[in-house]
Amino acid sequence: MSSSIRRKLSFRMLLAVLAGLIGFSAPAAAADVDLYTAYTHMAATPGQSLTYTIDIINNTGQIQTIPLEFDNGGHEGWEAELTAGGNQIRQISIRPEGERSVTLTLKVPLQVNRGDYTFRVNAGPHGSLPIRVTVVEEGTYRSELTSDQPNLQGHSDSDFSYSLKLNNRTAEKQTYALSADVPQGWDARFQSGGNNITSIEVEPNATQTITLRVTPSSNAAADTYRIPVRASNNTTSAELTLEAVITGTYAIQLTTPDERLSTSITAGGTRSLELLVKNTGSADLTDINLTSTAPANWEVTFEPKTINVIKPGQSVPVTATIKSSKEALAGDYVLAMTASAAEKSADAVFRVTVKTSVLWGWIGVLIGLAVIGGVYWLMRKYGRR
C-alpha cells in the first residue's frame, strides 16, 4: 500500500475518531412512511370513548399502499375502530410525498382495572404508532340510581317530586322494573317524558332521568319518612333511599259555637251570627279571609274580615252580619260562607228562613178588623128593612 493511500486512510480514521469524541454521527436515513398523532397518552374513565386523528405521511416519491391494523396488546374488552371518510378501513394508499388522515376510536371497557394500557396502530413493514391510555378509576359492571336532592320537605298536602338518574353501567341494554316503598295511604308514581311508567329501558353505559312523584296521606303526622326506591331486573339492580320530611298538616273549620248552621231573619232586616274559625291541623294557618255567597240584594259583612294567623288547635271568633233584601219573600234561603287561608279553606252553608215582617202582620189584622166593622155597619143599616 502506497504512502499516500495510507495517509488518506489515517486521515479518515482520525476524522471518525474525532467525530465520535465530539458527538457527531452520520445522518440516519428517513423512514419511507411516518405515523403521527398529537396525543399519544390520554387519561380516561371506564366506559369512555377516546378519539385519535392519525396522520400517515408518505416520504417517498412513489405511491405507498399501507396496511393498517390495531394491536390491543392482549388487553381484552377494549373496542377499537379505524375509519376514514365514514367507513371502516384496513388499508390506505398515499400519493408520492403525500399525507392522509385516519380516525381511531378506542372505547374503554366498563369492567377494567385502574392503570396504564399500551396499544399500537401497525402499518405493516412501515412501522407502528404506540398509544398509551391511563385508566384513572376502577371500572364496574353495575347499575346506579342517584338523586341530586334525595331529601325534600313539605306539608302533608304537598306533592314531593324527586328527580332520579338511572345509570346502566353494563355492556348490555337493560329493562328495569321500578318500585317505591311508601307508607300506607301514600301514593307514588314514576314518570318519564310526562307519562306514568312502571319500567324503563336504558342503553349500555347510558343514563335515563326519571321523576318520582310522592303524595302523602292527608293525615300524615309531622315526621321524617324514608322511601326505599329500587330499579331491578334478573341480572342487575340499583337502590336508593329518599326522605320526605312532613313539617305539619293544614286543616281549617268554619262553624258556630253551637255548630248550628241555620237562622231566621225578616225581609229587609238584619241578623248577627257568631262564627268560629278553627285551626284543626298541626301547622299555622296564615292570611285567612272571610267571604260569602248570598242571595241577590242581600249583604253580608264580617268582623274581622281577615285574620293574620291561627295557631294549631286555636280558634278565632268572627261576627257575620246578614242583611236581607226588602223584597225577600217568606221562605228558606241558602247562604254560603268561606274562610280561606293561604294553605287551606273551609265552607259553611247556612239555611236562612225569611219571616213576614211584624208590621205587615199588624196591617193585616187592621185590614181584617176594618172588613168586619164594615160588614157589621152594613148589617145594622140595611138589616131592618
198-251 tens-digit pLDDT: 999 999 889 999 999 999 987 788 899 999 999 999 989 999 999 999 988 888
Per the CB < 8 A criterion, the answer to whether 151 and 242 are in contact is yes
Q: What is the rounded CA–CA span in Å between residue 230 and residue 83?
A: 41
Range of the domain at 149: 142-246
- Same domain for 226 and 258, yes or no, is no
Q: What is the DSSP letter of 96?
A: T
In sequence order, what are the residues at sequence separation of 6 or more whose Cβ sits closer than 8 angstroms to the Cβ of residue 16?
none
- Same domain for 256 and 336, yes or no, is yes
- Same domain for 256 and 354, yes or no, is yes
Half-sphere exposure of 46 (CA within 13 A, CB side): 20
- Is residue 9 a part of any domain in this protein? no
Where residue 194 falls (left for φ over 0; alpha for ψ -120 to 50; beta otherwise) is: left
- Same domain for 154 and 229, yes or no, is yes
- Same domain for 242 and 299, yes or no, is no
Return the pLDDT at 11. 43
Q: What is the rounded CA–CA span in Å between residue 229 and residue 163?
A: 12
Opening angle at CA 26, ends 36 and 11, nearest 5: 175
- Is residue 10 a part of any domain in this protein? no
Return the pLDDT at 97. 94
Q: What is the rounded CA–CA span in Å between residue 35 and residue 117?
A: 20
**Number of structural domains, the chain?**
3
Q: What is the rounded CA–CA span in Å between residue 262 and residue 334?
A: 9
- Same domain for 355 and 256, yes or no, is yes
User: What phi and psi values does residue 182 have, to the nearest 5 degrees?
Assistant: -105, 160
Q: Residue ranges of the alpha helices (H) in the chain?
A: 3-22, 358-382
Per the CB < 8 A criterion, the answer to whether 245 and 213 are in contact is no
Which among 135, 156, 181 is the end of a domain?
A: 135
- Is residue 18 a part of any domain in this protein? no
Which among 135, 159, 188 is the end of a domain?
A: 135
- Same domain for 190 and 220, yes or no, is yes
Which among 228, 246, 264 is the end of a domain?
A: 246
- Same domain for 162 and 123, yes or no, is no
Return the pLDDT at 8. 40
Q: What is the rounded CA–CA span in Å between residue 88 and residue 163?
A: 40
- Same domain for 230 and 276, yes or no, is no
- Same domain for 196 and 275, yes or no, is no
Return the pLDDT at 289. 96
pLDDT by residue for the chain (385 residues), tens only, comes to 444 434 443 444 444 444 444 444 444 445 899 999 999 999 998 888 999 999 999 999 999 999 999 999 999 989 999 999 989 999 999 999 999 999 999 999 888 899 999 999 999 999 999 999 999 988 778 899 999 999 999 888 889 999 999 999 888 899 999 999 999 999 999 999 989 999 999 998 899 999 999 999 877 888 999 999 999 999 899 999 999 999 888 889 999 999 999 999 998 899 999 999 999 888 889 999 999 999 999 999 999 999 999 998 899 999 999 999 988 888 899 999 999 998 889 999 999 999 876 555 556 667 767 777 666 666 666 665 5
- Same domain for 266 and 283, yes or no, is yes
Peptide bond preceding 204: is omega within 30 degrees of 0, i.e. cis? no
Instruction: Give me the count of residues in the chain.
Output: 385
In 3-state terms, what secondary structure has residue 373? helix
Task: Indicate which CATH number applies to the domain containing 240.
Answer: 2.60.40.10
Q: What is the rounded CA–CA span in Å between residue 371 and residue 363?
A: 12
Q: What is the rounded CA–CA span in Å between residue 28 and residue 265?
A: 119
Return the pLDDT at 361. 56
In sequence order, what are the residues at sequence separation of 6 or more whose Cβ sits closer than 8 angstroms to the Cβ of residue 325?
267, 268, 295, 296, 297, 298
